[in-house]
Structure 1
Amino acid sequence: MKEFFKRFGVYIVAAVVFIVVAFAYCFPVLQGKVIYAGDNLNAECASHEAMEYARTTGDHTWWTGSMFCGMPDYQIGGGQYKTDNWLRPLTAIFHRGHAHTAWVFIIYFICFFALLRSFDVDKWLSIVGALAIAFSTYFIVIIAAGHNGKTSTIALISVVFAGFYLIFRKKYALGAIFAMVFTAIGFSTHPQMAYYIFMMIGLCLFGELYTHIREKRMKDFAVATLIFIASVGLGMGTSCSNVFANAEYTRETMRGGHSDLTKDDAAANTKGLDLDYATQWSYGKDETFSLLIPGFMGGASTMNIGKESDVYKTLISRGVTPQAARGFVEDAPMYWGDQPFTAGNVYVGAIICFLFILGLLIVKGPYKWTLLLATLFSICLAWGHNWMGLTEFFFKYFPLYNKFRAVSSILIVAEIAMPLLGFLALRELMQDGVDRKKMLAKVGIAGGITAAL
């Protein structure tokens, strides 16, 4: 028993910490409360007819008359194809039951913990790191918005990244299992989020290629690459019915370059979304500082700032009635960025930004540069119409990129890459035999750069 706790005790502690933190943060779910998420309500309304048909007849309908004067319904809950993947029901934890919000956080914690452990970050440090990544504001905002597909894909596909790293460290079996199983579970729930994370993995693949060429280990590179591709391919294969159904459906929509419901068929020349439409939610260049400074461009588009706010007091002092003033501050406009509206900005944390800069100074190897490139890449692409030249290039020449809207959501790459490099920096600081004097100097430099920003 003593040996068991010595070996697995930290994982038991991690599980307890994750559960306690998740339910403490989401305490209202223990009182039977649920988050009012607009997208969830819309999805329930859209799929109600198909669900009722299945409940009363035991069969699936492939058509709904309640949307757009009639349309196929297998994208909104109808049909059989989504149940063909036996692993897919595991994602139900992301949207079933009143306590699902807490369980989403627990899955976040577990997946990000697995990612950090695959990079040989200390077990105890990985617990802290998992919490730090999961509490990046965007990962919380999408829960409140009801973007269940995003939450599950971000968490699960991050473990595919862990599998990629393990395979290239010659831990083929565990890496292949991670890549295959978590691709199978997470890929089809939100292809856009999976696409972005696979872009980051692609950059890391070039880093591995450079390292293997320099070390003259091209055979190892070829073996690892083939194992990873095969693992991901098998994982995606379990979602074939979903992927092919999406592909077939897409051809008749805006994303496929044709829609009878689109005025003048504006997307026809691009075989994808209209560029202006796809870049409506573009992150402002100034808004990028929200990664470091919370509320740099305000908060959500509307927020309840309360009766203790200066706004409320000013309204009262100007003769506004208490009822009118209260109504205003309960729904006050608090965002002045470039996006049409938002539920909140992307904040990874000042400490994470400091650790990220420290990682650039002390972490060795190709992943320092690939994670930096991934971060910069995601920021620049998130700017959308604020850097139209780059965005238009990707829309025209990068496969499938023009199928996605809300380009600002690619910042999920930065939200994973920045804390990952930051905790790799802490891993370096904890190594035996490091030159403490040099390390302290670099810590000071990183702190100075962060403060200057």
Structure 2
Amino acid sequence: MKQNWLKAILPHLAAIGIFLLLATVYCSPVLEGKVVNQSDMMNVKGMVKEAKDFYEATGERPLWSNSMFSGMPTYVTYNGPSVNKLVYVNKLITLNLPTPVNMLFLAMACMYLLACVLDFKYWIRVLGAVAFAFCSYNVILMDVGHITKMYDIALMPAVLAGIILTYRGRLIGGAALTAVATGVLIYNNHLQMIYYTLIMVLCLVAAAFVHALREKGLPQFFKASVLLAIAGVLAVLPAMDNLLITREYTDYTMRGSKSELTLDKKDVDLKKSTGLEIDYAFEWSYGPMESFTFLIPGFAGNSSAQKLGTGSHVYEQMVSLGAPPAQVEQFMEQMKFPLYYGAQERGTSGPVYVGAIICFLFVLSLLLVTSWQKWWLLAITIIGFILAWGKNLAFINDFLFYHLPLYNKFRAPAQALVLPSLTFVILGCWALQEVANGKHTKDALLKKLKQAFLITGGLVVIIGIGGSLFFNFSGHSDASMLNYFAQMMGGEENAKLLVRALEKDRSSLLLKDSIRSLIFIAIAGGAIWAYLTDKLKWQTAALVLVAAVAIDLIQVDRNYLGKDSFVDESVLESQLTPTQADLQIKQDPDPYYRILNVATSPFDDAMPSYFHKNVGGYSPAKLWIYQDLITHQISKNNMQVLNMLNTKYFIVPDQKGGQPVAQRNPDANGNAWFVNDIVWAPDANTEMTTLDHLNTKDSAVIDKRFESVLGNGFKPGKDSAANIKLTKYGLNALEYTSSNSREGLGVFSEIYYPAGWNAYIDGKKTDIVRVDYALRGVKIPAGQHQITLKFEPTTFFKGQKISAISSSILLILVIAAFIWEIIAARKNQGTI
């Protein structure tokens, strides 16, 4: 029995060893202590700094942060250690490896698991694992720092494996695998990838139903489906700490589309949807023709920032225009050019390339595979491409955006290419399984192989060699490049010549990558042909295919995550070094004020939030009232609005060297103040436009809906010495003292958020009203008082309890299920 057990497990341990070795070798700089210079993760550091510091100092969970957008919940960034016990599973399945080795390993392991469930031959499993993990999109995600997204993509095959296993009759083990895989996927909390996973699951379940109906197996289908439904519920419950509060928070954000403004056509269009504005959501829509990057990486010019060497057409053109070769060579070494000419107007970090060999095998699967599972995989493939095309297939995607549940909460449709990236690999491996399983005659296989080679190779030849005839190599960035070249090379005529040279470089890249893809297709086709004609044994042919797939993908991946992407940790820390402006501002002893850094892109950069409480920041889910304030007031430099946000300092570039310098704003309103007058607004539009000319220190504009809260006929008063002073600053609570001989209206320089903020005067709860469109206001009785603003989101605390209890139950049930499976397997083998 021991020998049988070892014999069964050793191949899997070998596969794990291969994955560990491959991931570690690819990311070998981590062995020297280096880390990936992830641009988006630097933003994350800025986003979470204040919250993390608060937790470390107090041990209290930070629920609110003032380091971004003048204040917002920390639910989507950081609120302390997770109570979800699946955090330990997440660490276990990645072997606690360093980033990004852990993500590559997890992706390979999960695809290998799915291939085992599908009963593919050993080396086909390994090939599929390597192909899935090293898809260029995955590597690009790791490079820029989209960590949670990559984790969820890696886990998708494991979720499918659990569902397929359950429908095959392994009810307990399959349901347990589904529950834990789905639970960890939801724990990682990339909602858009979770949504795409749900689409896949629905396609699989629908196909399984049709198959069961045809095979008269509906009782077994419904039994499995009930168990899977239970597994799904068990998987979702541990994530309630995130899901419940995110659902509540979404209603107040751009993704919930709750803006009340209709000041211009754009705001009117928002009313069509309960989610994002469609033009914003459909940024980064892949082009239908651009989808050929699956087959040829350079089809659309790769990325928006690439170096060109001395052999490029741009280099030759510059030299021919009289520029010194040495100077041009130095320029080419420093400059990155926009070779990308695809449909995504804002550019891209790189193409979605699944591999020429995988595309060839995918075509072969269409000719060979007859399993019912082929159809749900094809359905997912088609759905993925349609969704990814976004505005470039508007007649379908516009309808889906406004009618498909929750779909309007997401943006960047190109992300949907994760679906065909997965299905291409599965079907490609299935094609190899059909070649190797002996169910087809060799003549039939050779015929299908020839057809697949002609189709795939023919496409490459037509695209690569005929590209200059069929395609326009001009890109969205060419106008800016024309201006750049005109300034650099002395005139528009020279600039036009350089832009044409850039287009020639794009054409050359397409030809080069087409030839490259054709070579790899020929290698794969040749290996399969050699096996079918008995010139190679299966093991040898399979190893050739695995090696070819790995080399093909890794060569491309190195352009996006190579050794240059890794830096010493000290280099990252240097990006967090405060400037002289930051140091100057931090000398201010005032515990609570805000800054606006206009030396950078203030609403797309969270780095200033690392050092300060910030009017700007970075978040894909800003509060709607604040986005309205940015659009209609802050972006127009309305100083009265900036004053009411207590913007005490501006960081601006100096006129000489462009270095950031600090400028103090003496007119900032402070943390809180009494006003003399209220302007009642009949609607949100009037409230916003009133801010155009309102003296926010003296008066407040309030929507009439709050008039009954303050009391009909209420007129605020203040004496000459009236004041509100901040006495204690915290993220979850702020304490003030007030002094005023008259009943007044206190305006607090805090963002209005009714889902959790409560006000207390001398310990007694009172109402908060929305003031100046985005701030909090409290009616304060005459005299001296203690005022406390507390953030007490009941939804958050309820979710925490559900998560802690349900995740513990889930782990116990999963462990029990797997023990049961082991015992059942040993019984079947007669060993107990």
Q: Same fold (TM over 0.5)?
A: yes
Say whether the 8 Å CA contact 1:33–1:98 is kept in structure 2. Answer: no
* Larger Cα-atom Rg: 2
> Is structure 2 residue 124 aligned with structure 1 residue 118?
no
Matched residues in 2 for 1:308 and 1:57: separation? 59
Please state how far the C-alpha of 1:98 moved relative to its aligned partner: 9.3
Deviation, structure 1 residue 401: 0.8
Equivalent residue for 1:379?
A: 385
Tell me: CA distance 1:418–1:60, structure 2 relative to 1, closer, same or farther (3 Å).
Answer: same
Residue deviations 1:27-55 (CA, integer Å, cap 9, x gap) = 12222222111110001101101111111
Stretch deviating more after TM superposition (289-298 or 30-39): 30-39
Q: Could you tell me which residue of structure 1 aligns to residue 445 of structure 2? A: 439
Letter matched to residue 338 of structure 1 = A
What's 2:668 paired with? Answer: none
**C-alpha distance after superposition, 1:243-287 (max 9, x if no partner):** 011101100011111248998655343101111111111001110
Larger % of strand: which? 2
| 1:51 corresponds to | 52
2:10 is matched with 9
Equivalent position amino acid for 1:154 in 2: I
Alpha-carbon shift at residue 92 of structure 1 (Å): 6.0
Counterpart residue number, 2:238: 238
Corresponding residue to 1:449 among 455, 458, 479? 455
Q: Does 1:212 align with 2:218?
A: no
- The 1-side partners of 2:72 and 2:452 are apart by 56
Shift of 1:315: 2.9
Change (3 A) 1:342 1:263: farther
CA distance in 2: counterparts of 1:95 and 1:259, whole angstroms: 42
Deviates more, 1:231-240 or 1:262-271: 262-271
Who is 1:70 aligned against? 71
Normalised to the residue count of structure 1, the TM-score between the two structures is: 0.94
Aligned to 1:422: 428
- CA distance 1:263–1:192, change in 2 (3 Å): farther
> Is 2:250 the partner of 1:250?
yes
Cα distance, 1:309 vs. partner?
Answer: 4.2
* Distance change in 2, residues 1:122/1:96 (3 Å): closer
Match of 2:330 among 326, 330, 343: 326
Check conservation: 2:303, 2:340, Cα contact below 8 A: yes
Which residue in 1 is equivalent to 2:224? Answer: 224
C-alpha separation in 1, matches of 2:6 and 2:290 = 47
How far apart in 2 are the matches of 1:381 and 1:206? 19
**Equivalence map 1:45-444=2 (5 Å):** 45-77=46-78, 79-80=79-80, 83-88=82-87, 90-91=89-90, 99-188=98-187, 189-259=189-259, 265=267, 267-307=270-310, 309-320=312-323, 322-323=326-327, 325-329=329-333, 330-339=335-344, 340-444=346-450
Question: What corresponds to 2:647 in structure 1?
Answer: none
What secondary structure is seen at the aligned counterpart in 1 of 2:338? strand
Q: Matched residue of 2:298: which SS?
A: coil
Compute the displacement of 1:4 (Å): 4.2
Q: Provide the TM-score with structure 2 as the length reference.
A: 0.52
Distance 1:146 1:112, change over 3 A: same
1:29–1:98: 8 Å Cα contact kept in structure 2?
A: no
Partner Cα separation in structure 2 for residue 307 and residue 97 of structure 1: 43
- SS of equivalent to 2:42: helix
Native 8 Å contact 1:94 1:104 kept in 2: no
Residue type of the alignment partner of 2:147: N
Q: Distance in 1 between matches of 2:391 and 2:260?
A: 26
SS at match of 2:305: strand
Equivalent AA in structure 2 for residue 201 of structure 1: V
Identify the residue that residue 27 of structure 1 maps to in structure 2. 28
Q: Structure 1 residue 320: deviation in Å? A: 3.3
Counterpart AA for 2:354:
V
> For each residue in 1:2-36, what CA deviation from the matched residue of structure 2 results, as whole angstroms up to 9, or x when unmatched?
54442212112111111111111111222222211
> For residues 437 and 252 of structure 2, what CA distance do their matches in structure 1 show?
56
C-alpha contact (below 8 Å) 1:10/1:124 kept by paired residues: no
Tell me, in whole angstroms, the C-alpha distance in 2 between the residues paired with 1:198 and 1:136: 21
1:156, distance to aligned residue in structure 2 (A): 1.5
1:419: how far off? 1.0
- Residues 94 and 174 of structure 1: CA distance in aligned 2, closer, same or farther (over 3 Å): closer
Letter in 2 for 1:50: A
CA distance in 2, matches of 1:388, 1:248: 30
Would the alpha carbon gap of residues 70 and 325 (structure 1) be closer, same or farther in structure 2, given more than 3 Å must change?
A: farther
Q: 1:41 to 1:136 in 2, by over 3 A?
A: same
Instruction: Give 1:107 shift.
Output: 0.8
> SS of 1:76's equivalent?
coil
Question: Cα offset for 1:429?
Answer: 1.4
Give the unaligned 5+ runs of structure 1. none
How many residues are matched? 451
Between the aligned partners of 1:172 and 1:94, the Cα distance in structure 2 is 22
Is the contact between residue 157 and residue 187 of structure 1 (CA under 8 Å) also seen in structure 2? no
Distance 1:260 1:96 in 2: 48
Greater displacement, 98-107 / 324-333: 324-333
CA distance in 2, matches of 1:325, 1:135: 33
Are the aligned partners of 2:388 and 2:416 in contact in 1 as well (CA < 8 Å)?
Answer: yes
Cα distance in 2 for residues equivalent to 1:23 and 1:230: 38
Say which is worse superposed, 92-101 or 203-212, in terms of deviation.
92-101
* Structure 2 Cα separation of the partners of residues 412 and 27 of structure 1: 26
Matched residue SS, 1:229: helix
In the TM superposition, residue 351 of structure 1 has moved relative to its aligned partner by: 1.0
Assess, with a 3 A threshold, how the Cα gap between structure 1 residues 260 and 384 changes in structure 2: closer, same or farther: same
Instruction: Find the aligned partners of 1:93 and 1:344 in 2 and give their Cα distance.
Output: 31
The one-character-per-residue Cα deviations of 1:303-349 (angstroms, maximum 9, x if unpaired) are: 23345545334434433354565345541212111111111011111
Contact 1:396 1:402 in 2 (8 A): yes
Amino acid at match of 1:106: F
**CA-to-partner distance for each residue in 1:167-218, whole Å, 9 max, x for gaps?**
1111112211211001111114212112112212211222111111111221
Q: Distance in 1 between matches of 2:373 and 2:192?
A: 24
Preserved CA contact (<8 Å) 1:91 1:152: no
State the percentage of identical aligned residues: 35
Amino acid at match of 1:191: L
Q: 1:326 to 1:232 in 2, by over 3 A?
A: farther
Q: Deviations over 1:76-111 (max 9, x none)?
A: 11x25x612111355469999993111211111101
Contact 1:255-1:273 within 8 A present in 2 as well:
yes
Distance across 1 between alignment mates of 2:387 and 2:396: 7
Contact 2:109 2:129 in 1 (8 A): yes
Deviation at 1:158, TM superposition (A): 2.2
Change (3 A) 1:420 1:35: same
Shift, 1:224, TM fit: 1.5
Letter in 1 for 2:270: A
Report Cα offsets for 1:361-383 as digits up to 9, x if no partner. Answer: 11112211211121111111111
SS of structure 2 residue aligned to 1:302 = coil
